[in-house]
Amino acid sequence: MANSFKLKKIKSVLELAELCKTGEVSKLDTWRAFNRIFRVSSADGQMKIPEAFKPKLSKWFASAEDTSSDQSIRRAEIQTVVRVFDRWSCNQTCFNAARACRPINNDSNAMLRKESVSSDERVEGCDFCDPMNFTAEDTWGRLQNASVLTASNVAKYDALHTMIVFKEHPPSHVSKEKIFDMFEVAAQWFETTHKNHPEAIYPIMSWNCRSRAGASQHHGHAHMLLADSFHYGHWERLNQISKLYSGEYPGENYFDDLIEAHRVLNLAKQVGSAWILIHLAPYCGYEFKVICWDFNNDFKEAIHMAVDMLVHVFRSYCFNACFQFPPLENGKLQEPLSPENAVSVKRVKLNGGRMPYLAHIVDRGDITRGTTSDVCSMRIYGSAIVNEDPFMLAQTLEWIK
């Protein structure tokens, strides 16, 4: 019985929940990493619908396969919600496909028209299109290359906070060259800033694409911060999780198991030494994670691929990306690992004493839908609420065939 389940390809979170209900997954050796991290359950939500409301609901919840309006009403009355819980990070996501039928979502999602501004055109009144005159710089100057330059943030998140400003205006014009250039300048900025502030060793980057994602300027830009004393909170929480996990499961690593748990579900893609995950417990509907144990070209390439898929496959022109790095080593983002220290690094990694390079890339909603926010009190203080199924994303990308 267990072997038959081992060969089954899961194609929806509902299928995953149904399989978990049988208890068979707990018997599978190939699912050990999944079982160590995730708990999956499902339940039906029901409601009574007033007669006067049914015609409107029938239109919202209709499917092309329906043969009567009663089917769409039934779809609204009984909705199955799947809960995915990472019991180590405490991330939780509730999936309900019916939420896609809400009035805000129920029109066809037409492809966003091409940006009206070409890549080499300046926009009148945009400070970032004239950065030398209308942005500040660090006390020690600026850094730049072909695609980006630095500008000190005039409204800082933290004491050491500088922006990377892209040299082209449209924020969702993303290329491999731009991604690599961004990280090249970031590495230089962290090193230079550390030289001026030797106590600062905790680096992080964020990229908010468009105002719905928190950007105060439409022009494409990212943020770099370097802290002293301790890392930023989310990284510290993940670091504690990693240590606790290795304590609970000696010889195992939380991040390697997170990769394996997604790989067994066909929700992971390897890019050299890096991995892209379609996150099983996303904050929003479309969320990719990138995990790599080195700050190398594989990590950067995987990030480019993830952003490119988000923008060009799933038409997400508004997104957040956060890049979390381990503490600086000798004032630098870590160089690629040499064969000589690979064994000792593996030993430290397995006891939870080493953190990977992480990228979190998440869609922030359809910018053609007006100003309705995708953040609500439940998402902030309770659980993520999602209607996009990770397995549907994997099938769209042909990771599952």
* CATH code for the domain in which residue 164 is found: 3.30.428.10
The structure tokens 């990229």 sit at 207
Q: Which two tokens stand for residue 107?
A: 């029109």
Predicted pLDDT at 374: 67
Same domain? 204 vs 315: no
Boundaries of domain holding 149: 13-103+126-228
Q: Which two tokens stand for residue 373?
A: 């926010």
Cα dihedral: 255, 378, 310, 264 (round 10)? 40
Q: Which two tokens stand for residue 146?
A: 């072909």
Give the C-alpha separation, 207 to 182, whole Å.
11
The model's pTM: 0.81
Asked, for residue 108, whether it belongs to a domain, the answer is no
User: 182 with 201: CB under 8 angstroms?
Assistant: no
Predicted pLDDT at 380: 59
The structure tokens 């990769």 sit at 259
Tally of domains within the chain: 2
Other Cβ atoms within 10 Å of 188 Cβ, number = 16
Q: What is the mean pLDDT of each run of 10 residues along the chain (401 residues)?
A: 58 93 88 94 79 82 85 86 86 79 47 40 79 86 94 81 88 88 97 94 90 76 88 87 93 95 97 96 89 95 96 87 94 73 65 87 76 63 78 94 84
Query: Residue 146: CB partners within 8 Å, gap ≥ 6?
Result: 167, 177, 181
Same domain? 71 vs 219: yes
Predicted pLDDT at 268: 98
Same domain? 222 vs 241: no
Predicted pLDDT at 308: 93
Predicted pLDDT at 234: 84
Query: Residue 193: CB partners within 8 Å, gap ≥ 6?
Result: 138, 160, 162, 200, 226
Same domain? 175 vs 241: no
Asked, for residue 112, whether it belongs to a domain, the answer is no
Predicted pLDDT at 136: 82
Other Cβ atoms within 10 Å of 255 Cβ, number = 22
Predicted pLDDT at 335: 63
